[in-house]
Chains A and B, each alone.
Chain A
Amino acid sequence: MPVAIICGHAVELDKDGFLTDYEEWNEILAKQLAANIGIDLTDRHWELIRWLRADYRRLGVSSTTRHTQSAGGFSIKEQLELFPKTPAKKMAYVAGLPKPQGCV
């Protein structure tokens, strides 16, 4: 497992670059992860990130775009505005969750 130093902390990443430990994530780290992919986090991003992390804690899997819409109330269009082009993967990355495995 590669280890990266982000914001002065060593964090473990999987082969795709996603954080592997739910507990290693924090908000400072999230800002840097978002900056890595060119995203400046707004209040709405934070609401979505907090929902994603709570949902992961509940279900044990990273949310798909569809689930984020149906269960979280964030429309697919809004997800695309907040995390352009590849919303599910970017959301999981910034929220410190594994790469989503769901098909839709």
Chain B
Amino acid sequence: MTPQDSVPIIPSFGGEGDDGQRKLAIICSKGNLDMAYPGLILGAAALGNGIETHLFFTFWGFDMIAKTRMAKLKFSPVGNTAMHLPIGDARMPQALAPLPGIQALATKMMRKQISELDVPEPPELLQQIVDMGGHLWGCRMSADMMGLTEDDLFDGVEAIINADTFIEKTYGAQLLFI
């Protein structure tokens, strides 16, 4: 092996234009099962690319990190006109969406579809984010509104902080609001 032998094309592991300083902040404000995934998956993907990543859980997004609720997120087809039935492109009539049992059924179906893709449940994804060095923060105002303390939150949450502190911590970051 000589230096001349070395491959001229070495993959860019950071991504084009990445100077190693890229930073991502994701604000998770929804507690529905379907709205929990985008932030968690993008966060895990960012960490897999070596990007410093911060997730801030606020309002209903608190359900994603509250110990007693995080494993029980639900999906509701109410108000979701893109909800399809498992038959071709048939859409679910909105009149059916609020019927008893539909939310439970839709939640069960979504969990099954996601698990078939080998994508973990939200709590396991949160743990993956922590294992990869991601930072999880709870929102002070939401915690106060819901009467929750750090003891009530997933262990990987570093602290409950106010909006101001989050803005300080994510100086220069790209930001996603979900």
Binding site for B on A (CB under 8 A): 2, 4-8, 11, 13, 16-18, 28, 31-33, 35-37, 64-67, 75-77, 80, 84-90, 93, 99, 102-104
Q: Judging by beta carbons under 8 Å apart, are A104 and B41 in contact?
A: yes
Q: Across the interface, which residues of A come within 8 angstroms of B5, CB to CB?
A: 5-8, 32
Q: Judging by beta carbons under 8 Å apart, are B48 and A36 in contact?
A: no
Tell me the nearest residue of chain A to B11, going by C-beta. Answer: A17
Q: Across the interface, which residues of B come within 8 angstroms of A88, CB to CB?
A: 48
Tell me the nearest residue of chain A to B5, going by C-beta. Answer: A7
Interface of A is mostly: mixed
Q: Contacts A32-B1, A32-B5, A80-B132: A104 and B13 contacting too (C-beta < 8 A)? A: no
Q: Judging by beta carbons under 8 Å apart, are B120 and A104 in contact?
A: yes
Q: How many residues of B contact A (CB 8 A)?
A: 25
- Pick from A28, A37, A66: contact of B13, CB below 8 A: A37
Q: A83 to chain B: closest CB distance in Å?
A: 9
A17 vs B9: C-alpha distance in the bound complex, in angstroms?
A: 5
A87 vs B133: C-alpha distance in the bound complex, in angstroms?
A: 13
The reply on B45 being an interface residue by CB < 8 A is: yes
Q: Judging by beta carbons under 8 Å apart, are B131 and A75 in contact?
A: yes
Interface of B is mostly: loop
The reply on B95 being an interface residue by CB < 8 A is: no
20 inter-chain pairs at a CB distance below 8 angstroms, sorted by A residue, are A2-B9, A4-B9, A6-B5, A7-B1, A11-B7, A16-B12, A17-B7, A17-B9, A18-B11, A32-B1, A32-B7, A37-B10, A65-B48, A66-B120, A76-B132, A89-B11, A89-B48, A93-B11, A103-B41, A103-B45
List 10 tightest A-B contacts by C-beta distance, closest first.
A85-B50, A17-B9, A17-B11, A76-B131, A86-B13, A4-B7, A86-B50, A104-B44, A16-B11, A6-B7
A31 vs B5: C-alpha distance in the bound complex, in angstroms?
A: 12
The reply on B81 being an interface residue by CB < 8 A is: no
A4 vs B5: C-alpha distance in the bound complex, in angstroms?
A: 9
The reply on B147 being an interface residue by CB < 8 A is: no
Q: Judging by beta carbons under 8 Å apart, are B48 and A87 in contact?
A: yes
Q: Across the interface, which residues of B come within 8 angstroms of A2, CB to CB?
A: 9
Q: Across the interface, which residues of A come within 8 angstroms of B50, CB to CB?
A: 84-86
Tell me the nearest residue of chain B to A83, going by C-beta. Answer: B13
Q: Across the interface, which residues of B come within 8 angstroms of A36, CB to CB?
A: 6-7, 10
A65 vs B133: C-alpha distance in the bound complex, in angstroms?
A: 13
Q: Across the interface, which residues of A come within 8 angstroms of B7, CB to CB?
A: 4-6, 11, 13, 17, 32-33, 36
